[in-house]
Structure 1
Amino acid sequence: MDEKIKIIGITANTSWYLYNFRKNTILAIIDEGFEVFAIAPKDDYSGKLEELGCKFIHIDIDSGGTNPVNDLATFYNFYKIYRSNSIDVVLNFTPKNNIYSTLAAKLVDIKSINNIAGLGTLFISESFASKIARILYKYSQSKADFIFFQNEDDRALFKSHQIAQNVKSDRLPGSGADLSRFIVSPASDDGVVRFLLIARMLFDKGIGQYVEAARALKSKYGNNVEFRLLGFLDVDNPSAVTKAQMNAWVDEGVINYLGTSDNVEAEIAQVDCMVLPSYYREGVPKSLLEAGAMGKPIVTTDNVGCRETVDNGFNGFICEPRSTKSLTDALDKIISMSHSERLKLGMNSRHKIENEFDEKIVIKKYLLALNSL
Structure 2
Amino acid sequence: MTAQPNRLRIALVCNTAWAIYTYRRGVLRMLTERGAEVTIIAPRDRTFEPLVAMGCRCVELPVASKGTDPREDLKTLAALYREYRATSPHVVFHYTIKPNIYGSIAAWLARVPSIAVTTGLGYVFIQKSRTAMVAKRLYRFAFRFPREVWFLNRDDREAFARQDLLAHPDRARLLHGEGVDLDEYAFEPLPERESFVFILIGRLLWDKGVAEFVEAARRVGATHPNARFQLLGPVGVDNPSAISRTEVDAWERDNVIEYLGEAHDVRPHIANADCVVLPSYREGVPRTLMEASAMGRPIVATDVPGCREVVEDGVTGLLCEAKSADSLAHQLDRMLTFDARQRAEMGVQGRAKVAREFDEKAVVERYKGTIRAITGVSL
Give the shorter-chain TM-score range. over 0.9
Residue pair 1:146, 1:369 contacting (<8 A) in 2 also? no
Residue pair 2:276, 2:289 contacting (<8 A) in 1 also? yes
Structure 2 unaligned spans of 5+: 375-379
1:181 maps to amino acid: E
Deviations 1:153-203 (A, max 9, x none): 111111112223425232122121111111111232111111000121112
Moved more, 122-131 or 22-31: 122-131
Give the structure 2 partner of residue 84 of structure 1. 86
Moved more, 286-295 or 24-33: 24-33
Q: How far apart are the structure 2 equivalents of 1:245 and 1:124?
A: 22
1:310 maps to amino acid: V
2:272 alignment partner, one of 270, 273, 278: 270
Q: How far apart are the structure 2 equivalents of 1:113 and 1:135?
A: 19
What is the Cα-based RMSD across aligned positions, in Å? 1.4
Residue pair 1:142, 1:163 contacting (<8 A) in 2 also? no
1:200 alignment partner, one of 203, 214, 219: 203
Give the structure 1 partner of residue 95 of structure 2. 93
Give the structure 1 partner of residue 20 of structure 2. 18
Q: How far apart are the structure 1 equivalents of 2:98 and 2:244?
A: 25
Give the structure 2 partner of residue 171 of structure 1. 174
Q: How far apart are the structure 2 equivalents of 1:28 and 1:174?
A: 18
- The 5-angstrom pairing of residues 99-114 of structure 1 reads 99-114=101-116
Q: How far apart are the structure 2 equivalents of 1:150 and 1:238?
A: 22
Q: How far apart are the structure 2 equivalents of 1:38 and 1:208?
A: 33
Moved more, 54-63 or 311-320: 54-63
Give the structure 2 partner of residue 298 of structure 1. 299
Q: How far apart are the structure 2 equivalents of 1:341 and 1:311?
A: 14
Q: How far apart are the structure 2 equivalents of 1:82 and 1:183?
A: 39
Give the superposition deviation at 1:4: 4.2
Residue identity (%)? 38
1:295 maps to amino acid: G
Give the structure 2 partner of residue 351 of structure 1. 352
Query: How many residues align structurally?
Result: 369
- The 5-angstrom pairing of residues 25-64 of structure 1 reads 25-64=27-66
- The 5-angstrom pairing of residues 1-373 of structure 1 reads 4-166=6-168, 167-222=170-225, 224-279=226-281, 281-373=282-374
Give the structure 1 partner of residue 377 of structure 2. none
Query: What SS does the corresponding residue of 1:63 show, helix, strand or coil?
Result: coil
Moved more, 23-32 or 66-75: 23-32
Deviations 1:323-362 (A, max 9, x none): 1121111111111111222111111110010001111111
**What's the TM-score, normalizing by structure 1?**
0.96
Give the superposition deviation at 1:99: 0.8
2:189 maps to amino acid: P
Q: How far apart are the structure 2 equivalents of 1:189 and 1:329?
A: 24
Give the superposition deviation at 1:62: 1.2
Residue pair 1:159, 1:165 contacting (<8 A) in 2 also? no
